[in-house]
Amino acid sequence: MITGHIGVAFGARAMRSTASLGWLLVATVAPDIVDFIAGFSGICNPGGLYSHAFPAVAIVALAVGAASGWQARNSTTAFLAMGLVFLHLPLDYITGLKYLWPGSPIVGLYIYRWPALDFVVEVPMVVAGWWILRRSGNAPKWAASVVTIVLLIAIQASLNITQQFVTRRTKPNGCSVASQLPEQNVVPHLYTAKHHVLSVV
Ligand SMILES: [Zn+2]
């Protein structure tokens, strides 16, 4: 998932105005940040094994929770940040394919196969989150701005267009084995070919 995560962080900030929006945004994409670091470092992280699967995601949640609580001096920020890290997972199971734990099947609806569908799923999420935050009356000015939501929709559209016409891959891949995307006819809710090395979000 891409901008849908941002919408969830916006919604969380609308619920708790004392939380740091910056940290909530970091938390909502934290497993993907780990993915990028692994990819750029040349570390093979198939199916989010070291970023999205247990126990790695629990370590990421604790790290982000501790860092945000300490920096923001705010326990609300810390607990919301930890929650957002864990909430990242079910949302990614909609869009991508992920290991649940080392050795588990790779699961996910993998709607990235249909970038237009991904756009239709994610844009309402980010618009709803932005709208709720804007209506809360305590949003940072930049977050409530129309420019912000237009930019986020443009980012979502450009990534989906890239997925459709250029590559399904949205992250750097540190695996030496060429990534292999599943065929169109895989069972949509449970992909069990564990030998495939994937690098989808
Ligand atoms: Zn992710």
Q: Measure 25 CA to ligand 1 centroid, in angstroms.
A: 13
Q: Measure 160 CA to ligand 1 centroid, in angstroms.
A: 15
Structure tokens at 45: 């992280």
* pLDDT tens digits, one per residue of 31-62: 999 999 999 898 988 899 999 999 999 999 99
Q: Which of 60-74, 107-121, 175-189 has the lowest mean pLDDT?
A: 175-189
Longest C-alpha distance within the chain, in Å?
Answer: 50
Q: Measure 52 CA to ligand 1 centroid, in angstroms.
A: 7
By three-state DSSP, how is residue 107 classified? strand
Q: For residue 74, what is the DSSP state?
A: -
* pLDDT tens digits, one per residue of 120-171: 999 999 999 999 999 999 999 999 999 999 999 999 999 999 999 987 777 7
Q: For residue 48, what is the DSSP state?
A: G
Radius of gyration of the chain (CA): 17
For the chain, the straight-line distance linking the first and the last C-alpha, in angstroms and rounded, comes to 7
Q: Measure 152 CA to ligand 1 centroid, in angstroms.
A: 17
Structure tokens at 105: 């099947």
Beta-carbon neighbours within 5 Å of ion ligand 1: 31-32, 92, 201
- How far apart CA 15 and CA 132 sit, in angstroms, is 9
Query: How confident is the prediction for the chain on average, in pLDDT?
Result: 88
Which is nearest to 46 in space by CA: 187, 181, 190? 181
Structure tokens at 94: 């909609």
Q: pTM of the full predicted structure?
A: 0.85
Structure tokens at 120: 């239709």
How much is the average pLDDT of 172-201?
48
